[in-house]
Structure 1
Amino acid sequence: MSGFVFGEKPIQVASGDGVHVYDESGTEYLDAGASYACAPVGHCHPAVVDAVESQASDLLFVQGSYPTETRTALYDRLADLAPGGVENVWLCNSGTEANEAALKFARHATGRETVVAAKRAFHGRTLGALAATWKQQYREGFAVPGNVEFVDYGDADALAEAVDEETAAVLLEPVQGEGGVNPAPEGYLQAARDACDDAGAALVFDEIQTGLGRTGSLWACEQAGVEPDALTVAKGLGSGLPVGATLVADWIAEDAGDHGSTFSGGPVPCAAALATLDVLEDEGLAANAADVGDYLRAGLSALDVRDVRGEGLMVGVEVKRGANRALRALALEHEILALPAGRTVVRLLPPLTVDERHADRVVAALDDVL
């Protein structure tokens, strides 16, 4: 069990409402970070718990080369939910694996090696994904492979200039998460689409943090009306169980090369993912994220802060005196768990089940802390 970062008492249990967790002394914390967006339907949602328990009692695991009912169902469900034509699904265990697969598939399908990524991007910590991750502290000492060109996020002209006949893929987050919660400027994702079309490169959207209703629609790219050639998803897909996916268009799937994983599409994570997707749809959580997100950002904008930005329930609050101090005070003085996004940004990624009462509590606490 991981220790609770702000104190000596580890988190022990989650509450029935899904938005709170408790330490061993019984102190209740509002989880406004959802463990880096890994609990979109709340902690221990009954439907997810039931699905996991049922599957675990039936079949815990079988290798990926044997078809199973749950894996096939998840393939079909993700294909049905995919934006545009990215209906070919490969399952994995994490976001970084999903991005690794997307980069491998794009390179093989195009016969090219260069990747264009954005400054301040975060795509994972394995070597391929790490190569497209901007922050030097993650890269230092690991002999990260080259063939990645970084451009300023949001600069459409710089992006267009960087993409050429040697570009295999453009890899972008529709809203940067780790880099400071930076939404794409209007027209930027379309400019990326145009640049890829002109050069014959693959446009890959990393929706590992933005997907599954977080920004107010199932996929953030839908709000911009832009269809990628590949899309990656993980984090909240299994409500905390390790499962991710790479969705690709036909032209990539037809020449994706050789790839695989022993644990790809394990029965229990697939059951959790199917139940999570059911809850997201049945409870209208994307719409709730849009509504409560607007309400939360409006309240935060009245505070003495440098900036409030984001989409839906993916919110960044840029503070004046550093994020870590604010995060510690939120946890110890107000029993609210939040996250950093760089040195000066408090990141809020609560379960999509939160309501205006929870938003009011977060705003009041930040007002007091700041």
Structure 2
Amino acid sequence: MVKLTNFGTENIISEKLYHNEIKYILNEGEDETDRLADRKYVQQAPEIIRELVTRKTLPQGSQAADIYSLGMVLYQILFRVPPFHERGKSIAKLMEMISMSNEDDQLIRPTFPSSQGSESYNLQLLSCLEACWLELPEMRPNIKKVKTMVNANLRSTGKGSLVDQMMKMMEEYTSNLENMVRDRTALLEEAQKQADRLLNSMLPKSVAEDLKVGKPVLPQLYTCATVLFSDIRGFTRISSTSTPLQIVTFLNDMFSGFDAIIAKHDAYKVETIGDAYMIVSGVPSENGNNHVQHIADVALKMRSFVSNFKLQHRPDEVMMVRIGFHSGSVAAGVVGLAAPRWCLSFAVDRMEPYETFKR
């Protein structure tokens, strides 16, 4: 639906402005150049723009100038893009270029986008738009001729009248927008899920949920929790005879198995440092004294997993792991802003003596 307004008012306003009987009210900090740098003015006829640029006042219009602007309206309906979009210039710069161009120079006019898919337009219809944009006002067609040319060309395509054609184009445009919104929404949802998975891998789920809603996560002291610390026997020796890629693959396979074990228990992987693997139970979700049982079960399953683990590049290597855990008070909190981590304050060195092979 296109609505044309302001019939008859421009002539009265222009006459009053010309005789200084009225003046435009400018916003604070705005000058005449800012007021005229409006996209609606760049769609005016060249003779109107020249007077706008020189006198800073919108002159009285004419039927020929209206035909020029009608060509701009039809251009936007057909191609669904604003005039001069391909030039990438500011409105003020475009108006200056249009006002300075003439028949001796290259005229500044909108260009026709290349047809895409089923969208192609009769050359006579495009010629009609070019006729509306002729530099000499007296050479432009009148409204009856424009209407006849547009309707004749649309009927020749077998697609109905101008209204039928425009309605069909708007329906296609709306349908395309709906598909774009649906696709972008799906991409946004997938990106949100990936962000949630990444955040949950860095922080406990309850802590991550609080951070997402903007709730501050204060450091907290837990009276009793159980922390497990493990490392791989002979890791330094294995690393010295392996390539970096082999080491990364080895640790990924090993720790992925540990992660799968933890997922079945009320425990959380705090961090990995080299071959060291640290988990905790009882924080941030307190579970009474059950944290001891959960960590003990995890330790036994980790030992069983490692005993059956085969190193890809050294299949004859017998893998063993040291595991130790300790129960006591733990302080926990989120550290960092750019890359937040959930950290524990715990006397880990007290666990080192308890780390033994196969026990």
Q: TM-score range by the shorter chain?
A: under 0.3
Considering Cα pairs closer than 8 Å and 6+ residues apart, tell me whether 1 or 2 has the greater RCO. Answer: 1
> Which structure dedicates a bigger proportion of its chain to helix?
2
TM normalised by structure 2 equals 0.19
- Based on CA coordinates, which of the two structures has the bigger radius of gyration? 2
Higher strand share: 1
